[in-house]
Structure 1
Amino acid sequence: MRQLETEAPDDDAPVEAPVPRPARRPSAARLRQPWDALRMYPRRWRERHPAAARGLSVGVSVFAAVLVVAALVMPNSLTQLDPSAFVRIPAEAVIGAAVMIALPRRPRMALAAVSGVALAAMTVLNVLDMGFKQYLGRGFNVVLDWSLFGDAESYLEDSVGRTETLAVVAGVIAFVLLLFALLALSMVRLGNLLARHTGIATRGTLIAGVVWITCSSLGLQLSGVPLAADSTATALKAQARLVSATLKDEAEFRKVAKVDAFGNTPGSQLVPDLRGKDMIFTFIESYGRSAVEDPIMAPGVDSTLDARTKALAKAGFHAKSGWLTSATYGGSSWLGHSTTMSGLWISNQQRYRTVMASDHLSLTEAFKKTGAFDTVGVMPGVQKAWPEQKWYGLDKVYNAFELGYKGPKFSWSTMPDQYTLQQYQDRVHSKQPADGKSRMSFLILTSSHQPWAPIPKMVPWNQLGDGSVFNGIEKAGNPSSYTLTDDTHSKQEYGKSIQYSVTALTEWLERYGNENTVLVFLGDHQPNAHASGNHASRDVPVAIVAKDPKLLAKTDSWGWSDGLRPAHNAPVWKMSAFRDRFLTAYGSTPHPKKG
């Protein structure tokens, strides 16, 4: 055997550096291993715990079925939100099951996912309907009402703070996304379950169909709620009709807005009986009929109205009062303002935009058109640009930032009404208009805006200053949560806020009014259902106050009550009727504009 010899290394020879080997990239198989392990874990867990796995599977399926059925039979009103409403057989579920059984896998899964998303969308609309009916007395309009979410966010921020508002908004968004995901996944799971057990599913669907037809035919009910339900289909048809009606109304209202009984009346023939008068129109936020007649709120409000009527009478003022039916409820105050001033029924945002862009004569613009009045607005609730000033015919508007207030906000309200009125006195009313003109003023008071906590209190008029006097009053008041979570508290505090606003306004009139002062004040709408209840009317009180008995005599044909508190059986007009009745009573001559 031949022996191999090796040479000894030469210490002086250069040593070659080792060639670095390229780093080995992990193979796709290695990359997939963690994910494979994750996918295998549920399978292995099911193999190790078969009983628990079956129980979990059944539980998930039951949850999916309950969630879908609950969404299908869910009412769209809080007054109908009762356990019996969810113990019903939805026709949509029966029809959907029959379709799912008949479809192949891919179309079935696609239909299930789309149906789940559609059902989630209808559920969100039902929830919005609940909220809108509770706060605005009407359902949600998918065409017009999206813009109101910004107002709702601003109101919530003013009421509870920015941090809490951001948390609520984030929570709502998360809830909606979760709802969409859960209903889509639930529909897919139920569709697959039906496909795996075709025989049982077919028999069950036939039985459910027969039961639904029987319950529907016989009118069977549980606690007054029909057992046979088609809530989702009915809601879908209602939304379709609402969309169609909204689009049709938009076109028709444009034509209506072009017709105006006083549209071509020359300025010389408008309100001749009010020349030389100091005319003031004032809206009191949320001043509704419930404040005067609800058993919880009425005692305090009525006693205030009666006391203030007597106090004004001692100062030489007399009053007449009646009722107007507002075009809005619970909010959207601008609809009430514009309905009163335009003589048109402005019940939604589209109508409001149409009127604001038109030349339809507003009651305030009528005074400007005479050439005999300066016109001014005081708007403590306006905190941004207000292009509506032009339509209202106001020469000057004082917004929330132009009244010099240095005190605290009272929830949504930027300043107390008493301070607003004193600033109106100092900046406007105490000064004579130029060129020997009279003045027409348009004021919107805000202290009675929800949530009615905290509420300002009256202070000596000569101590108002820059409003800092209200710091202690605001701190001592109730937090906004005091009324947001309790209807009885809402009623009590709402009533107090109306007493405050009426007292502030009438004390101002008693203190600063003169022989020529004519005050018209009214509510813009009823408070929301937390204060007015679920079946409240849309009526608001309206009053005319003046020293000149001849001016009030011109309204004798109206049949209004004496004093600030309208009788229960006093006449009720639609709010849109006020402009023409007022213009006619004070000598205006109609010259129609026919569009």
Structure 2
Amino acid sequence: MRRAWPLLQLAVPLLGLNALLTLVNPGPAPWPQLTARIAPELCIALLLAAAWAAWRGRLPPRLLRTLAAACTVLAVVRLAEITSAALYGRTLHIYWDGRHLGQVLADQGVARWQVLLGAGALVLACALLYRLLLALWHMLGSALAVRPLRRAALGASVLLLALFAAHGVQGLDRNRWFAGAVTPVLARQLALTALLLPRDAAAERLTPSPAWDSDLAGLHGADVLLLFSESYGVSTLDRPAQDAALAAPRAALADAIAASGRWAVSARVRSPTFAGGSWLAHGALLTGVDTRDPLDYELLLSSQRRTLVQHFGAHGWRTVGWMPGLQRDWPEGRFFGFDRIADARSIGYAGPLFGPARLPDQAAMALLHAQELAGPRPRAPRFVVFPTLDSHAPFRPLAPFVADWARLAGPAPYTAQQHAVALDEPVSLRAPVPAYVQSIAGTWAWLGDYLQRLAPPGLVAIVLGDHQAFPGVSGERAPWDVPVHVIAQDPLLRQRLLDLGFDAGLAPRGPVLADMHELTPLLLRAFAGSAVALPSPAAQQPVVATPPCSPACRPSPNTSPARS
């Protein structure tokens, strides 16, 4: 037993420290789980501690306290990170969430005494965690005083860090053995907080907002549907196979638009993101601010910048965020200023899911029509933002088109057989194009039918891709360009959009008209009263091509609301 005791002094604290630094939470419960992976930060700390012990013989109390405090911070940050991802589908932002925590708690009916009690419990928990980690480091320090154990710790930590650094070499995947590092998360949070603390940080870093001087009189009080079509990129036009496969569905949509008494004009715009990070595109258009850098998007949310939603609301429109892909609370939604945010839990869908958390877009549109667009006149016009889901990778299973829109808004929108047939469709990310084409064609099918049969008189529809699909669909080094279509009835509005550089029809083949955030002021000019002067196409500044982004600079896909 005496011989085994030093080995236990090394193994027990290492297992305990590693367990606290590698917790996971697959969700949706708030409770973390253990995982059989290695914390890279612990390998670094063990290497430093063993090297110090080899140099000085023992670890001094001050170093032990420092290591315990560092591990406490990392453990708390990891716990907050995994819990936030499990409950809200996004990273916890110290600055932004800290500013809005009080309002969130008030909305949940939490009393002040409960807040104080919870804060006290949190401080006590952190103190107890520190004492536990300090005890583990004292035990580990005693083990490192034994030369054979110290050499074993040095060798193991060097070997593990070399394995961590060799990620990608000869197909090595460190994610099989190592947990995600917490240090970059902490560093990003501190950098973001430092960036946001200055009062004028947003003014200095973000691009200028639009003038917001459009009176929107050119819309004549029409309902406006802004449809962010998920992963709808110019690969549907530029890649011959996709263009040919979508030719008939595109023509059918054009025929349905014409039969509804409407016209369509289109253009290409450059998205601020590629293959994911839909929220960056949504933020760019809804604010007129460049969000190509994800940090700028986070800074934007902390600012007091005006939004397109607020602008429509100030001119009499009821503003609705129709978010069938939103599975959790979305406190950031307050920034945009919607009168109503309807998520997957509140839109009233009663049918089966077609894949994990996938509500069919046509059913979501049927519910939107029933609840917001089919009301008796006179009523306030609607401005609706609706990000779709069907064309989100892996693009299947897809719900079938249903001609009976009233059924889609009822208790049994799809039969068991329709659901089973959809689930049996093959899904392949190695050969994704057929499913992708099917998803885009399906969107056009229900959209054309809606415009022809149900849409309110005068409805203006803006259909905009949020980003290109991943390279397996859009191609290697594909541009970041997406189509935008405006569909309406007013001939004066059509001419204004043509004067601004849009093309007639649904297949814009010309150069990029603008970056996505620059599309916002263009639309506002087109929607303004007749007194607003419009620039000629020749006066517009050309768009500078954005080089293809390396994987390192692309935002990570994530389940954030309104994100893909």
| Range into which the TM-score falls when normalised by the shorter chain | 0.5 to 0.7
1:419-450 Cα offsets, whole Å, 9 max, x none, are 1111111111011477x532222222211111
Partner residue of 1:150 out of 64, 78, 85: 85
Q: Describe how 1:507-522 pairs up with structure 2 within 5 A.
A: 507-522=449-464
1:534-562 Cα offsets, whole Å, 9 max, x none, are 31111111000012211111112222221
Cα pair distance change 1:403/1:188, threshold 3 Å: closer
> CA offset at residue 587 of structure 1?
2.1
More helix by share: 1
Please give the alpha-carbon distance, in whole angstroms, between the structure 1 residues aligned to 2:487 and 2:370: 21
Q: RMSD across aligned C-alpha pairs, in angstroms?
A: 4.4
Is 1:423 the counterpart of 2:367 in the alignment? yes
Contact (CA 8 Å) 1:323, 1:540: kept in 2 or not? yes
Please give the alpha-carbon distance, in whole angstroms, between the structure 2 residues aligned to 1:446 and 1:499: 13
Q: Give secondary structure in 1 for the equivalent of 2:289.
A: coil
Is 1:474 the counterpart of 2:386 in the alignment? no
Q: Where do 5+ consecutive residues of structure 2 fail to align?
A: 7-50, 59-80, 91-151, 161-184, 534-564
Letter in 1 for 2:324: P
Partner residue of 2:262 out of 276, 298, 317: 317
Letter in 2 for 1:360: R
Q: Which residue of 1 aligns with 2:135?
A: none
Contact (CA 8 Å) 2:466, 2:482: kept in 1 or not? yes
Q: Describe how 1:28-43 pairs up with structure 2 within 5 A.
A: 31=1
Cα pair distance change 1:185/1:334, threshold 3 Å: same
Q: Which residue of 2 aligns with 1:276?
A: 221
Q: Describe how 1:159-198 pairs up with structure 2 within 5 A.
A: 185=155
Q: Which residue of 2 aligns with 1:443?
A: 386
Contact (CA 8 Å) 2:354, 2:397: kept in 1 or not? yes
> CA offset at residue 333 of structure 1?
1.2
Is 1:398 the counterpart of 2:333 in the alignment? no
Letter in 1 for 2:85: G
Q: Where do 5+ consecutive residues of structure 1 fail to align?
A: 1-30, 37-102, 111-145, 156-181, 191-238, 591-595
Letter in 1 for 2:387: I
> CA offset at residue 342 of structure 1?
0.7
Give the TM-score taking structure 1 as reference length.
0.56
Q: Which residue of 2 aligns with 1:566?
A: 508
Cα pair distance change 1:571/1:475, threshold 3 Å: same
Cα pair distance change 1:324/1:104, threshold 3 Å: closer
Cα pair distance change 1:109/1:520, threshold 3 Å: farther
Q: Which residue of 1 aligns with 2:209?
A: 260
Cα pair distance change 1:32/1:413, threshold 3 Å: closer
Q: Describe how 1:70-81 pairs up with structure 2 within 5 A.
A: none
Contact (CA 8 Å) 1:283, 1:523: kept in 2 or not? yes
Q: Which residue of 1 aligns with 2:478?
A: 536
Q: Which residue of 1 aligns with 2:311?
A: 366
Letter in 2 for 1:449: H
Cα pair distance change 1:570/1:357, threshold 3 Å: same
Contact (CA 8 Å) 1:412, 1:449: kept in 2 or not? no
Q: Give secondary structure in 2 for the equivalent of 1:550.
A: helix
> CA offset at residue 243 of structure 1?
11
Cα pair distance change 1:565/1:375, threshold 3 Å: same
Contact (CA 8 Å) 1:411, 1:451: kept in 2 or not? no
1:343-382 Cα offsets, whole Å, 9 max, x none, are 1111344322322232312122211111x22222211111
Q: Which residue of 2 aligns with 1:351?
A: 296
Q: Give secondary structure in 1 for the equivalent of 2:329.
A: coil
Partner residue of 2:436 out of 477, 494, 500: 494
Contact (CA 8 Å) 1:559, 1:571: kept in 2 or not? no
Contact (CA 8 Å) 1:306, 1:563: kept in 2 or not? no
Please give the alpha-carbon distance, in whole angstroms, between the structure 1 residues aligned to 2:448 and 2:57: 68
Letter in 1 for 2:372: V
1:235-260 Cα offsets, whole Å, 9 max, x none, are xxxx9x99999899767645344843
Cα pair distance change 1:586/1:393, threshold 3 Å: same
Q: Which residue of 2 aligns with 1:382?
A: 326
Please give the alpha-carbon distance, in whole angstroms, between the structure 2 residues aligned to 1:331 and 1:458: 26
Letter in 1 for 2:317: F
Cα pair distance change 1:389/1:316, threshold 3 Å: same
Cα pair distance change 1:480/1:187, threshold 3 Å: farther
Contact (CA 8 Å) 2:256, 2:451: kept in 1 or not? no
Please give the alpha-carbon distance, in whole angstroms, between the structure 2 residues aligned to 1:536 and 1:412: 28
> CA offset at residue 502 of structure 1?
2.1
> CA offset at residue 390 of structure 1?
2.9
Please give the alpha-carbon distance, in whole angstroms, between the structure 1 residues aligned to 2:258 and 2:415: 30
Letter in 2 for 1:574: D
Contact (CA 8 Å) 1:555, 1:585: kept in 2 or not? yes
Contact (CA 8 Å) 1:278, 1:517: kept in 2 or not? yes
> CA offset at residue 308 of structure 1?
0.8
State the percentage of identical aligned residues.
Answer: 25
Please give the alpha-carbon distance, in whole angstroms, between the structure 2 residues aligned to 1:431 and 1:570: 40
Please give the alpha-carbon distance, in whole angstroms, between the structure 1 residues aligned to 2:357 and 2:428: 15
Q: Which residue of 1 aligns with 2:467?
A: 525
Contact (CA 8 Å) 2:218, 2:527: kept in 1 or not? yes
Partner residue of 1:586 out of 527, 534, 538: 527
Q: Which residue of 2 aligns with 1:297?
A: 242
Partner residue of 2:287 out of 318, 321, 342: 342
> CA offset at residue 152 of structure 1?
12
> CA offset at residue 471 of structure 1?
3.7
Contact (CA 8 Å) 1:419, 1:467: kept in 2 or not? no
Q: Give secondary structure in 1 for the equivalent of 2:246.
A: helix
Cα pair distance change 1:319/1:189, threshold 3 Å: closer
> CA offset at residue 581 of structure 1?
1.1
> CA offset at residue 400 of structure 1?
0.9
Q: Give secondary structure in 2 for the equivalent of 1:449.
A: coil
Letter in 2 for 1:585: A
Q: Give secondary structure in 1 for the equivalent of 2:228.
A: strand
Please give the alpha-carbon distance, in whole angstroms, between the structure 2 residues aligned to 1:444 and 1:419: 13
> CA offset at residue 478 of structure 1?
5.1
